[in-house]
Amino acid sequence: MSIADTRPVAGTLSSHWLEGSIRHRRKTPVTHEFSYKTGMLALELSEWDRVTGLSPLFSSERFNWLSLYRKDYFRPDSPDLLTAIRDQTEEATGWRPDGAVELITHPRYLGYVFNPVSFYFCYQAGERPEAGAVPRVILAQITNTPWHERHLYCLETSDDTGESSGGWRTERFGFRKRFHVSPFNGMEQRYQWTFSFRGPELRIHMNVLQDDTRHFDATLVVQRTPLTRKQLHRTLRQFPLEAIKVAAGIYWHALKLKLKGAPFYTHPDKLDESDPSHRLGRGDQGLDVTDNNANDRSSGKVSSWRT
């Protein structure tokens, strides 16, 4: 279903600020839960060179309160991120994005970057994120802590996403894990990811399962606000050190998990060669990892790429 073009008037940006909350819940073998308010940038990649002009506190490729660095994102050896994402999407799916390509991420705060996952929403021509359009392709760039390795999952949405009774348009994906993300999660797991869109509202929910038991889940609930100079400065007052806060929280809760007795899993590269998880995912270049379990209600194809 196509969403009509509601592009803002000339002279304004199409990028947005996302504001809401994130919740993490660990179910087994120990229980642990926390949540916090968060703010993120939804940057239309065609505006990469324009968005920092909103404020003297926002810069590209240099230190500032907020900053964007090309090296923090997909294929840093490619000069243009938008072209790199279009090339990757075409290689993975056969479709070259012809509409907006939007990066969901935390910019650097005082030079510090922390993005466990950044999403690239690739839309068809004429469809607008703020109107609740569903991306045709979603690229998820994962960065693990503390190893700072990167991996990409390419998620292809279905063509017949309908609206629920509440007006939400939802895409579901079930796939096998191919990348070591956390020392508290093993490799013999699979994911259920759900993306829901309704006007300016966005929800992302992730389940981590093993032997059909949910070990962990995370939920992001945010709402879009047009990115203006006034909004950016209000955001800096409300979330002055967001990336640093998120990183500190991750390490603090990791300590709590360790004290609770959560098991610690060795990085796959350090496992014995006889272990089935040894270097799992290291050579992935488009492997189909879709895992449509009958109970998942999943629909989209997922491919795995080590970057």
Query: DSSP characters for 124-176?
Result: PTT--GGGTPPPSEEEEEEE-TTT--EEEEEEEPPS-PPB-TTS-EEEEEEEE
CA–CA separation, 304 vs 280, rounded Å? 11
70 vs 159: which has the higher pLDDT: 70
- pLDDT at residue 162, rounded to an integer: 65
Residue 56 identity (one-letter amino acid): P
Confidence band, pLDDT 50/70/90 cuts, at residue 3: very low
Q: For the whole model, what pTM was predicted?
A: 0.93
The pair of structure tokens assigned to 267 is 């990085």
pLDDT grade for 146, boundaries at 50, 70 and 90: confident
SS3 (DSSP) at 11: coil
Q: Any bridge partners for residue 216, and if so which?
A: 26, 208
> To the nearest whole percent, how much of the chain has pLDDT over 90?
87
Q: What is the pLDDT of residue 145?
A: 83
Tens digits of residue pLDDT in 251-305: 999 999 999 999 999 999 999 999 999 999 999 999 999 997 745 566 799 999 9
pLDDT of residue 12: 87
Rounded mean pLDDT, 95-114: 97
> From CA 89, how far away is CA 57, in angstroms rounded?
33
Q: Could you tell me which residues are beta bridge partners of residue 198?
A: 201
Q: What is the per-residue pLDDT across 162-187, written as a single tens digit (0 to 9) for each?
A: 677 689 999 999 999 999 999 999 99
Could you tell me what percentage of the chain is helix, strand and coil, using 3-state DSSP and rounding each to the nearest 5? 20, 35, 45
List, for residues 12-67, the tens digit of each pLDDT value: 899 999 999 999 999 999 999 999 999 999 999 999 999 999 999 999 999 999 99
- Split at pLDDT 50, 70, 90, the class of 5 is very low
Q: What is the pLDDT of residues 222-261, one digit of tens each?
A: 999 999 999 999 999 999 989 898 899 989 999 999 999 9
- The DSSP output letter for 49 is T
Average pLDDT, the chain: 92
